[in-house]
Structure 1
Amino acid sequence: MNFGPGDMVFLKSGGPRMTVESVGEVHMTGEAGVWCVWFEQAGSKQVAKREVFAPVTLKRAEERKQPARTAGSYF
């Protein structure tokens, strides 16, 4: 499966929803890699985590529908 920057993915084995940052070749192995970012709760803060995954370990997440924003609505 092909992934691109901005795609939402999950690990096939489960875990958090992640955003693809980039796709390319992993320098040390020469194999394809998908660079992902996600957020985890650390106390009262959200902390960004990043990791590289083999494409075969990922599946595309379904897009969440965002409610329409109204004038003056910021959140």
Structure 2
Amino acid sequence: MSNYKIGDVVQLKSGGPTMTVSETNDAGMVLCTWFDAHSELQEQAFNQELIKPYKKATQVGII
């Protein structure tokens, strides 16, 4: 069973583009889609252990 659900935004633990989960399966594989630098849609399956939820960086205010 996957820890992710369709529509989750994720990123590889090693970095890279943000991706959207488009499919999961009981074997722990997560199908992700994203747009590359040429605005072409890409799709790849990853083991769920290789990805993490994407957390947008927060900006610290300047006083």
Give TM-score, length-normalised by structure 1. Answer: 0.67
Which has the larger Rg? Answer: 1
Give structure 1 stretches of 5+ with no counterpart: 26-30, 65-75
Aligned residues: 56
Partner of 1:41: helix, strand, or coil? coil
Query: Is the 8 Å Cα contact of residues 8 and 63 (structure 1) preserved in structure 2?
Result: no
Shift of 1:62: 2.2
Partner of 2:40: helix, strand, or coil? strand
Shift of 1:48: 0.4
Shift of 1:53: 0.1
Are 1:51 and 2:47 matched, yes or no? Answer: no
Cα RMSD of the aligned pairs, angstroms, is 1.8
What amino acid maps onto 1:52 in structure 2? A
Give TM-score, length-normalised by structure 2. Answer: 0.79
What amino acid maps onto 1:4 in structure 2? K
Shift of 1:63: 5.8
Fraction of identical pairs, as percent:
34
Q: State the Cα deviation string for residues 2-35 of structure 1 (Å, max 9, x = none).
A: 100000000001100000001004xxxxx32000
* Structure 1 partner of 2:12: 11
